[in-house]
């Protein structure tokens, strides 16, 4: 047994963050090989760990988006230290530290796994909607004539569209995210206006769509087909908000396979988002 009083709660350096990503891979969370670099660029003060005898034994993210909104993720305790009470202690420390980093009245989001949702609710979080991860093998499809790769000059329009779907501006995350190695970007443009976009990044197993945002189901379908076409024969994962019936219809039409589920939860007021445009969530780790 460990002595809880001997635990040290402190900010992680980049190597500490990479350790969390490695643990996430071992847990089967399937992160990408370059995720850590983007997460660090998003908020280098947003990762904390629990140390016992100078060894990192647990950790998680508490990322701040311009002090306007926070997101908690990457909550991992090494298996041999689970059931000791340190996870509960660390989680509340992370929540309170993040609240102190944010503007007064700012909300916090997270994606909670099913087993932990009652605990998170006791900590002040409320479920907004369920998320389901779905898998399908990539397949050859004809790419719609209105779909193109995202270019540097698209940055402002992409950021604006992303804010509608996420609720807050996050250029410090999205700019390096769209530049990840071994990734694919797609935008749907009609009448010289952005109508949706999708991003596919390599994960340790297969690829993930992160995100898929679109004005409507038909545009989302064309973007999804472009994503499938870009990774023929490879597993492709899509995280669907189950309050968007059009996203559910898309998954059914393409006969995707259910993998697991969690729930988007908020501490404080849920942000205003165009949820009907969200066909695929960006990440469970940073929102």
Give me the number of domains the chain comprises: 2
**Do residues 84 and 156 share a domain?**
no
What's the mean pLDDT in 217-242?
98
- pLDDT tens, residue by residue, 177-194: 999 999 999 999 999 999
Mean pLDDT along residues 152-168 = 98
Per-residue model confidence (pLDDT) at position 5: 74
Q: Is the pLDDT of residue 6 over 90?
A: no
5 or 203, greater pLDDT: 203
Region 156-167: mean pLDDT is: 98
Q: Note whether 264 and 128 are within 8 A (CB).
A: yes
pLDDT-derived band at 114 (thresholds 50, 70, 90) equals very high
DSSP per-residue letters across 262-280: EEEEEESSPPP--GGGEEE
Answer whether residue 287 is part of any domain: no
Q: What local confidence, expressed as pLDDT, does residue 85 receive?
A: 87
pLDDT band at 215 (very low <50, low <70, confident <90, very high): very high
| Averaged pLDDT for residues 224-247 | 98
What is the pLDDT averaged over residues 249-258? 98
Both 276 and 190 in a single domain? yes
Average pLDDT, the chain: 96
3-state secondary structure of 213: strand
User: Domain check: are 30 and 157 in the same one?
Assistant: no
What CATH number should be reported for the domain holding residue 101? 3.40.630.30
| Residue 259 and residue 143 share a domain | yes
Residue 2 confidence (pLDDT): 75
- Do residues 122 and 144 share a domain? no
Angle at 131 between CA 181 and CA 253, to 5 degrees: 85
* Residue 269 belongs to domain with CATH number: 3.40.630.90
Q: What is the mean pLDDT of residues 160-172?
A: 98
């Amino acid at each position: 047994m460990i002595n809880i009083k001997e635990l040290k709660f402190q900010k992680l350096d980049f190597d500490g963050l990479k350790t969390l990503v490695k643990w996430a891979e071992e847990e089967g969370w399937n992160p990408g090989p370059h995720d850590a670099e983007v997460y660090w660029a998003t908020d280098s003060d947003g990762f904390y760990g629990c140390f016992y005898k100078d060894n990192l034994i647990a950790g998680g993210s508490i990322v701040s988006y311009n002090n306007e909104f926070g997101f908690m993720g990457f909550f991992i305790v090494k298996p041999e230290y689970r059931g000791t009470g340190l996870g509960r202690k660390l989680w509340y420390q992370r929540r309170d530290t993040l609240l102190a980093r944010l503007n007064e009245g700012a909300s916090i989001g997270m994606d909670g796994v099913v087993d932990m949702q009652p605990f998170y609710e006791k900590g002040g979080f409320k479920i907004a909607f369920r998320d389901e991860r779905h898998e399908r093998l990539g397949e050859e499809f004809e790419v719609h004539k209105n779909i193109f790769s995202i270019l540097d000059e698209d940055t402002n329009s992409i950021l604006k569209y992303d804010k509608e779907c996420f609720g807050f501006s996050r250029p410090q995350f999205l700019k390096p995210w769209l530049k990840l190695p071994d990734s694919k970007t797609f935008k749907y443009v009609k009448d010289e206006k952005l109508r949706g976009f999708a991003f596919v990044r390599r994960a340790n197993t297969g690829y993930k769509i992160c995100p898929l945002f679109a004005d409507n189901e038909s545009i989302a379908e064309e973007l999804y087909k472009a994503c499938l076409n870009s990774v023929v024969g490879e597993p492709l994962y899509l995280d669907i908000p189950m309050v968007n019936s059009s996203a559910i219809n898309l998954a059914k039409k393409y006969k995707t396979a259910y993998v697991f589920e969690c729930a988007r939860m908020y501490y404080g007021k849920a942000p205003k988002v165009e949820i009907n445009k969200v066909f695929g969530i960006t990440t469970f780790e940073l929102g």
